[in-house]
Chains A and B, each alone.
Chain A
Amino acid sequence: ETGVTQSPTHLIKTRGQQVTLRCSSQSGHNTVSWYQQALGQGPQFIFQYYREEENGRGNFPPRFSGLQFPNYSSELNVNALELDDSALYLCASSLTREWSDTQYFGPGTRLTVL
Chain B
Amino acid sequence: SQELEQSPQSLIVQEGKNLTINCTSSKTLYGLYWYKQKYGEGLIFLMMLQKGGEEKSHEKITAKLDEKKQQSSLHITASQPSHAGIYLCGADPNYQLIWGAGTKLIIKP
Contact = CB atoms under 8 A, between A and B. Distances in A.
> Are A and B co-members of a single complex?
yes
B31 A99 contact: yes
Interface stretch (A42-50, A67-75, A78-86): A42-50
Interface of A: 2, 4, 6, 33, 35, 40-45, 48, 55-56, 58, 88, 90, 92, 97, 99-100, 102-108, 110
Interface of B: 4, 31, 33, 35, 40-45, 48, 50, 88, 90, 92, 94-102
Given A99-B92, A103-B45, A88 B97 contact: no
Contacts of B95: 48, 55-56, 97, 99
Contact of A42 (B31, B94, B100): B100
B42 A33 contact: no
A66 to B, nearest CB: 14
Contacts of B45: 102-105
Contacts of B100: 42
Contacts of A56: 94-96
A41 B31 contact: no
Nearest to B101: A42
A43 B42 CA distance: 10
B65 to A, nearest CB: 14
Contacts of A105: 35, 42-45
B44 A2 contact: yes
Nearest to A108: B42
A90 B97 contact: no
27 contacts: A2-B42, A6-B42, A35-B97, A40-B102, A42-B88, A42-B90, A42-B100, A42-B102, A43-B88, A48-B96, A56-B94, A58-B96, A90-B42, A90-B43, A92-B43, A100-B31, A100-B50, A102-B33, A102-B48, A103-B45, A105-B35, A105-B43, A105-B45, A107-B42, A108-B40, A108-B41, A108-B42
